[in-house]
Structure 1
Amino acid sequence: MQHLDLQVIERAMRWANAGETVWLCTVLATFGSSPREPGSMLVARGDGSHVGSLSGGCVEEDFLAQLRDGTFSQPVEVIRYGNNDADGPQVALPCGGILDVLIERLEPSDSNLLHLEVLHATLLGRRPLIRRVLLEDGRAHFVEGDAQGPRVERDAQSVRVRVGPSLRLIVAGISPVAAVCADFARTLGFEVIVCDPRAEARAGFDVPGVEVQNAMPALFIASGACHAATAVVALTHDPRIDDLAMIEAVRTPAFY
């Protein structure tokens, strides 16, 4: 899962804990060209404030306009964008694609807050789960799952979304190549953490949206920072940093 999904859930939790009703949207399926894959999420408030993306712009604009008009009042709805159906939103995607979107209206109840907390913990943790949403009344719960299989599955009764740790990149040590790699990974949706104990190296590093840790990469990795959706790269060409980091990295569940 992309790091953007984690930002979506964190904002949903913040709003819900403040007593706000939120609308959680999930891309269920795409047909033809589409910039966002199934499972991508967006959260919004009734005033149109939002985090995340469904299509890159055109779908969001229509959804938020309808939301401000009070259109989405049901606990759960599935709508289709891009096919110009008389009963659906009249939005033609510039890319020519079609996408189905699940829209959940989540009031700030104890059960919804707990559900968001479990979802948040799953995005941060090691154990993948399947989030099952009943299409009749919007009730949602988690069941055991694994990381293999389609991101989204559905039938007439429910939608099942596979949820797991969000993509993470740990960069061992700062260098010009490391800065470019960190920025590139961030744009691909990774949570990026750069580790370097050298004050002079950290002082010259400025990549927006990237976390910087004042620590030896090997110690940070050994502390449990890697899960199955983690990649580790060492790009300083300094064996005191690179070699020790790799010795620890190969002992973790990191996929790369």
Structure 2
Amino acid sequence: MQHLDVQVIEQALTWSRQGETVWLCTVLATFGSSPRAPGSWMVVNSKGKHLGSLSGGCVEDDFVQRLAEGQFEQAASVIRYGDASDDRGSHIMLPCGGILEVLIERLPATPETREHLSTLKATLEGRQRLMRNVDITTGRHYFTDDATLGPRVIWPNEEGEPNVVKMRLAPARRLIIAGISPVSRVCASFAVTLGFEVIVCDPDETACQEFNVPGVEVKALLPSQYIAANGCHDTTAIVALTHDPRIDDLAMMEAVRTPAFYIGVMGSKRTSTERATRLVRSGGLSDAELERLHMPIGLAMGSKTPAEIALAVIADIVRVLHGKARDEL
């Protein structure tokens, strides 16, 4: 899940609490080239205000226009964009030449809707993993437990419920950056672009005030304190990028206590060996905990500049996120 998903559901919940009906649009399937992956969300209110996206803009504009014309009053419907043979998707053809299949749900401002959206928000914030089920014939939506891996959207559903769309929900991807450095800035910028929620922690208040990467939350405290106080879910990556052992080592000691899927720290092979010795001696880390640390961090790309190092770090995080071994690259 991307951090944008959290923002979409938060906005839907805000509008619902204000008494507004909202339309939640979900990309179900893509065929050929497509700018957005299955599971991507957009929410729209009756005034045409919207957050999130389904494409590069053409689909969003068409949907808002048709909504203003009084369409999509049913509880749920599925339309296709980019398919000339299907008039449900209007006349829109995607610039990329692909096809989008979109689920549209009309969610009235009721306590049941707000409870449903609140559960969605809690799931994206890391409290649980669920499967969201939507019956496209009735609009009924409900959750079931899910701890499995697989595609984010199951549609068509071949499990005896042909009219039910199943959508896996997991915490939004998060990156915690321990310490501010030139590499941190570029790394944060890359991660925001990839849809991560990005949190940068550094005890230097002046450095925090000067850190101005849009979309990044900055905390003026030791990263280890933030990690210990807030914990991390299993789609969190934690990276230490300062070369300052007072920051990096403490962050690693706390990081291994979390279910973070990626934990890495910057440094040469020699520095990494020395750090491992310190972490065992001072931090009491076990061999299994040391194995979780990516030291040196990132892909071996021959990186030299801060931007190249940040690219290697983010590329390695994405590799692990998608379950790719290094020898598969």
Tell me which interval the TM-score lies in, with the shorter structure as reference length: over 0.9
> Which position in structure 1 is the counterpart of 2:74?
74
CA–CA distance in structure 1, aligned partners of residues 127 and 114 of structure 2: 21
Q: Does 1:121 align with 2:127?
A: no
Match of 1:240 among 227, 240, 246: 246
Q: Does 1:175 align with 2:176?
A: no
> Which position in structure 1 is the counterpart of 2:9?
9
Aligned Cα root-mean-square deviation (Å)? 1.0
Structure 1: tracts of 5 or more residues without a match:
none
Larger mean CA deviation between 160-169 and 243-252 belongs to 243-252
Deviation at 1:209, TM superposition (A): 1.2
Give the secondary-structure state (helix, strand or coil) at the position aligned to 1:184.
helix
> Which position in structure 2 is the counterpart of 1:132?
133
Larger mean CA deviation between 221-230 and 158-167 belongs to 221-230
Deviation at 1:225, TM superposition (A): 2.9
CA–CA distance in structure 2, aligned partners of residues 203 and 17 of structure 1: 34
Contact 1:17 1:113 survives alignment (8 Å)? yes
CA–CA distance in structure 2, aligned partners of residues 133 and 86 of structure 1: 22
> Which residue identity lines up with residue 219 of structure 1 in the other structure?
Q
Q: Does 1:199 align with 2:205?
A: yes
Contact 2:77 2:137 survives alignment (8 Å)? no
Q: 1:218 to 1:180 in 2, by over 3 A?
A: same
Which has the larger helix fraction?
Answer: 2
Q: Does 1:221 align with 2:227?
A: yes
| Larger-gyration structure (1/2) | 2
Q: Does 1:20 align with 2:20?
A: yes
CA–CA distance in structure 1, aligned partners of residues 67 and 126 of structure 2: 32
CA–CA distance in structure 2, aligned partners of residues 105 and 206 of structure 1: 38
Contact 2:129 2:145 survives alignment (8 Å)? yes
CA–CA distance in structure 2, aligned partners of residues 112 and 200 of structure 1: 44
Structure 2: tracts of 5 or more residues without a match:
263-329
Contact 2:122 2:128 survives alignment (8 Å)? no
CA–CA distance in structure 1, aligned partners of residues 59 and 148 of structure 2: 29
CA–CA distance in structure 1, aligned partners of residues 31 and 169 of structure 2: 22
Give the secondary-structure state (helix, strand or coil) at the position aligned to 1:233.
strand
Deviation at 1:86, TM superposition (A): 4.7
> Which position in structure 1 is the counterpart of 2:321?
none
Count matched residues.
Answer: 256
Deviation at 1:147, TM superposition (A): 4.9
> Which residue identity lines up with residue 71 of structure 1 in the other structure?
Q
> Which residue identity lines up with residue 24 of structure 1 in the other structure?
L
TM-score (norm 1): 0.97
> Which residue identity lines up with residue 35 of structure 2 in the other structure?
P
Contact 1:147 1:164 survives alignment (8 Å)? no
Contact 1:170 1:232 survives alignment (8 Å)? yes
> Which position in structure 2 is the counterpart of 1:252?
258
> Which position in structure 2 is the counterpart of 1:109?
110
Deviation at 1:135, TM superposition (A): 1.3
Give the secondary-structure state (helix, strand or coil) at the position aligned to 2:246.
helix
Deviation at 1:203, TM superposition (A): 2.3
Deviation at 1:56, TM superposition (A): 2.0
CA–CA distance in structure 2, aligned partners of residues 79 and 21 of structure 1: 20
Q: Map 1:148-187; keep pairs closer than 5 Å.
A: 148-154=149-155, 155=157, 156-187=162-193
CA–CA distance in structure 1, aligned partners of residues 133 and 168 of structure 2: 9
